[in-house]
Amino acid sequence: MAKIHVSTTVNGEPHEFLCDAEQSMLDVLRGPLGLTGSKEGCGSGDCGACTITVNDRIVCSCLMLAAEAEGQKLGTIEGMAGEELHPLQTKFLEMAALQCGICTPGVLMAAKSLLERNPNPTEHEVRFWLAGNLCRCTGYDKIVRAVMETAADMRGAAR
């Protein structure tokens, strides 16, 4: 079967790759592109460990065909931090909102997407937004508190 040529942008950088018609974006990210931050937790879109953004919308990369990336703007956990950690990453470390780390990249990508859309989410909104990201270690409370505190810090609000 012939390979498909794809030109896309990942974390602001242009990329080109060849893929099979049935190959997932997660496989291309972790393979040819060498971006191993997104994790495969389930391979069926149920856990959110492979969450990336496509044109600023969260997507499970295990469900996205790599060929669908043609002309799209993708964001991965590797692009979240600049010279310093993103405030969400810092708060997750400070508040121990991670344990084994399998879910963490996807949770952070989803939380960042939420805060970009809603800088003042309620706890209910945070829980709803992160409902597609499963964590088997933390019980979610530390994750939700870290997102809420990051939102407050980014707004400069008193807690």
Report the first-to-last Cα separation within the chain, whole angstroms: 58
| Residue 159 in this model has a pLDDT that exceeds 70 | no
Per DSSP, what are the bridge partners of residue 10? 13, 74
Distances in Å between the Cα of 11 and the Cα atoms of 101, 115, 128, 145, 158 are 21, 18, 26, 27, 32
Beta strands in 45-109 (DSSP E): 51-54, 57-60, 73-75
Q: What is the reported pLDDT for 138?
A: 82
Name the one residue in this structure whose structure tokens are 């997932």: 24
Dihedral-angle region of residue 66 (phi above 0 means left; psi in -120 to 50 means alpha; beta otherwise): alpha
Could you state, in order of their start, the residue ranges of all structural domains in the chain?
A: 4-79, 87-155
More confident residue, 1 or 131: 131
20 near 4, Cβ under 8 Å? yes
Domain 4-79 has CATH 1.10.3720.10: no
Rounded CA gap, 36 and 116, in Å? 24
- Top CATH class of 87-155 equals mainly alpha
Average pLDDT, the chain: 96
Q: What is the reported pLDDT for 157?
A: 73
pLDDT tens digits for range 24-80: 999 999 999 999 999 999 999 999 999 999 999 999 999 999 999 999 999 999 999
Rounded CA gap, 71 and 24, in Å? 16
